[in-house]
Every structure is written in structure tokens, then in C-alpha cells.
Structure 1
Amino acid sequence: MHYVVRNVPRPDPGVVQGLREAGVATVHEAAGRTGLIDPAVCARQDGAVIAGSAVTVSSHPGDNLMIHAAVEMCEEGDVLVVTTTSPSTDGMFGELLATSLMARGVAGLVIDAGVRDIAELRAMGFPVWSRAVSAQGTVKASPGSVNVPVVCGGQVVRPGDVVVADDDGVVCVPRGTAPRVLDRARARIAAEEDKREALRSGELGVDMYGLRELLSRLGVRYVDDLPEEVQE
């Protein structure tokens, strides 16, 4: 069976904004190093930062019919997450679909397949993270589903999960754990600021993190000159 699900529970907008401000690397750490989508699904522009509630699409490879069906389900601030039922690099998304999504206030696209019209997408300021850029076109012929759980870049993404994307990649945070992850992210940011100030003052990372004992335990020796027996 194939479904287009209309009703999706969305996360608190304040939590989404907080995770956006924290960024992918911090959110990933705060989530226990979970939820990171395959880095092959990467940014196709520099400097874009988005976060939003996931609207998910499961498509037949080489067929973008269900992306068109998904546009109607999108609300302002959502992130469209598109997967295919088998690997594909076809250009399933381009300028016209981006125009439609921008009219609905969608924050951006994460697609485990290809996009095209990349110059136009950059010029219009619609952020995309994709596995490929390909001029190979698609058809509109095969059924799929919208707003069902999907696997994108090796990670399960459910409708309403928080998707955060920036130059470091894409991370998915389950809706139910997003407030807790945000609390941990903010704690990490505060701790990192203290460390940043210490490093600015000249403190070394090996001392800040207590790494000298670890280096010694691992057999790393400090010497003034390289011993003769290892110079050759």
C-alpha cells in the first residue's frame, strides 16, 4: 500500500530554532553521536543553515511523482526529506519544484538521490543537500508514500523529526528527544566557550583535557632529539 499522510505532529518551533543555532556538529554530539546522515548527502551551496520538521517522501528511483504529491503536505519551516526505494542518483529535483516549495515557506531539501538546475537553486537561495548532482531527468509514473518513516543516508527519519543541516552535513533528531538534545547542546556550547577562552589565553589542549598521562600510557615519549636507532 502507498499513503499520503496529511496529519504530522510537528516539534516545538523554539526547539527547532535552538537546534538550528547549535549546528549539526554540536547537535550530533549532544544526541550521543547518533542521527548523522551519510556525509555523501552533502550541501550543494556554502553557508546555508536550516532546521525544520521533516516531511518525508519514499519514491521509486528515477520518478519524482511523490515529491510533487508531498509539496501540498509541506508547511512553513518544514524540511523535505526524499528517499528512493533503491539507490539512485537521477536528478529528481530542480528549479520548478524549488519554486513551489519556496512558495510554501519550506526551509530546504535533503535528498538521498540527485538534484539538477544547481546553478538556479543557488541563485534563488533554496538550500539542498543531495547525494548527487545529475542532469538525468525523471518520470512521473510510480506510486510511493508521503509522511511515512524512511531511511535517508543510513538513518531512520520519521515525519515530524527535527532535521538540522549545514556545511558539516545533516543530522536527524527524533521529535520526542529533541528538547533534551537541545538542553545538552546548550550545555556543550557554554562549556566550549570556557574552553575557547582558555585556549585564547595560551592553555594547551593536552593540559586542558589531561592528555599528558594518556600519551605516556600509550607509550608516546618526549625527547629533545630523535634517537639514532630510529633516524634511518
Structure 2
Amino acid sequence: MRNVVVTDPPRADLTTATALGEHGVATVHEAQGRTGYLGPAFRPAWPGARTGGTAVTALCWPGDNLMIHVAVEQCREGDVLVVATNSPSTDGLFGELFATALAQRGVRGVVLGSGVRDVAELHEMRFPAWSTAVSAQGSVKATPGAVNVPVVLGGQLISPGDVVVADDDGVVRVERERAAAVLTASRARAEKEEANRARFRAGELGLDVYGMREKLAALGVEYVPHAELPEGRA
């Protein structure tokens, strides 16, 4: 691994990232073809957290948060800090002091493929954080890594400047180059869901809203009165 800090990488448009965050993880994930989701292991430190911003990445060694300190300097308003380790780690690499420093810079949250701690304080601060573990295990500051290089979390390649959307459903990545198109698709999906929601409120069934009756017939599903079943059994 090359020990490098890449300064001022290109970022997705912040207005677009903000709008994607408002649509939320499930909508964005579906809108971009069910891709980019980091998986169910990434959970918010406190319920109700929600964000959308541009990625600043840090690659650390397990149990070592030196490069998070380095990454803080590279963060600016609207960013989300994304932290990976070069082998599995559940150590609490991030806590309230980091959150205080990042909040002062306008950073919108953090996503870690490791542990987070100081959960009560993060909740009180309303600083959004997602991680794969909660752990009081501390860390050292000894081993160089890299900042603003592509990293992999949950099987997803996240490059600096990509959009990161996160909420109670988890975390999804949108490639920087696709952000505008995915926002357009997310808006279309949200409009369609609102129309469907109105139909459900009016008492319609999903079978009709989604046009599934013909599909069921084509699949051979039969509706049979109970009285016509042999001995009352299917």
C-alpha cells in the first residue's frame, strides 16, 4: 500500500448529494438498479440518523486511527468520512472527539468498516455515524495508511468524491459520475411510489396496483373455493 494523501479530489455536486440523501438509501439503491448497497452489517450508531454527502476516504490499519486524524484535514463542508481498514477490525476507531472536529468542519457523518464508540455522546451531538461494530476498544496512532484513495466497504468500491447516502436502512454508494442520473431516477421512483401510496390509501390491493393478477395466472396460480377441494385440502 502506498502511503499517500490525495488532496482536493473531484467531488460530486453537493446539491445533488444532498437531494439523494433526502430520498434515502432504499430509494437510491433501487433507483440505480439495486447496486451500491454496503449490506446489513453497516448500522447507525443511533436511530434516525440520515445523511447524504461526498466521500473523503481513509485507509487505516486495524486498531490504528492515525489516518483518520490525517483525513480530518482533508474534509470540508458536505463531506462524509469513509474509513476502511486493510484487514478486518472491530476496534473503536472513531468517537466523540473526532465527531467534534468533523462537525466543526461541516462534515455530515462518518461510515466505518470497523467499530465506533461514545455512542451516547454521538447521539447527543446528533452526529451521524455508521459502523459494523460498537466497541470501547481503543486504538493507537502509529502506522501510516492512505487518504482519498479508493477503498472497499461491504463489497462496494468507494472512490473519493462519490456520493454516500446513509440512514436507518444502512449505507449506499453512488458513483460520482452517475450522481445526477441516479437523482433523476430517484425522483421518478419517489413520484411513482407517491402515486401508489395514494392508491393504497384508497383501499386498492398490491395485486392490482402492481398488475400482478395476470402474472399469477401465467404462473399457474389458481383460485379454488374451499368447498371444491378434495376432502377440504389443497
SS at match of 1:171: strand
SS at match of 2:38: coil
SS at match of 1:29: helix
Contact 2:226/2:232 (8 A) holds in 1:
no
TM-score with structure 2 length normalisation?
Answer: 0.95
Q: How far has the Cα of 1:228 moved from its partner?
A: 4.6
2:39 paired residue number: 38
Q: How far has the Cα of 1:20 moved from its partner?
A: 1.4
Q: Work out the CA distance in 2 between the residues paired with 1:58 and 1:223.
A: 60
Q: Work out the CA distance in 1 between the residues paired with 2:183 and 2:172.
A: 13
Distance of aligned partners of 1:62 and 1:229 in 2 relative to their CA distance in 1, 3 Å threshold: farther
1:195 paired residue number: 196
1:95 paired residue number: 96
Q: How far has the Cα of 1:224 moved from its partner?
A: 2.9
Letter paired with 1:4: V
Q: Work out the CA distance in 1 between the residues paired with 2:98 and 2:190.
A: 36
- Between 216-225 and 12-21, report the one with greater CA deviation: 216-225
Q: Work out the CA distance in 2 between the residues paired with 1:125 and 1:197.
A: 33
Q: How far has the Cα of 1:89 moved from its partner?
A: 0.5
1:121 paired residue number: 122
Unmatched 5+ stretches in structure 2: none
1:73 paired residue number: 74
Q: Work out the CA distance in 2 between the residues paired with 1:229 and 1:114.
A: 58
Distance of aligned partners of 1:179 and 1:225 in 2 relative to their CA distance in 1, 3 Å threshold: same
Q: How far has the Cα of 1:218 moved from its partner?
A: 2.7
2:220 paired residue number: 219
For residues 59-87 of structure 1, what are the alpha-carbon distances to aligned partners after superposition, in whole Å with 9 as ceiling and x for unaligned?
A: 10111000011000000110000000011
Q: How far has the Cα of 1:222 moved from its partner?
A: 1.8
1:104 paired residue number: 105
1:47 paired residue number: 48
Q: Work out the CA distance in 2 between the residues paired with 1:145 and 1:230.
A: 68
TM-score with structure 1 length normalisation?
Answer: 0.95
Unmatched 5+ stretches in structure 1: none
Contact 2:56/2:80 (8 A) holds in 1:
yes
1:23 paired residue number: 24
For residues 96-137 of structure 1, what are the alpha-carbon distances to aligned partners after superposition, in whole Å with 9 as ceiling and x for unaligned?
A: 111111111110000010011111111111110000001111
Distance of aligned partners of 1:199 and 1:146 in 2 relative to their CA distance in 1, 3 Å threshold: same
SS at match of 2:52: strand
Letter paired with 1:119: A
Distance of aligned partners of 1:203 and 1:41 in 2 relative to their CA distance in 1, 3 Å threshold: same
Distance of aligned partners of 1:61 and 1:222 in 2 relative to their CA distance in 1, 3 Å threshold: same
Letter paired with 1:56: T
2:186 paired residue number: 185
Question: Quick one: percent identity of the two aligned structures?
Answer: 59
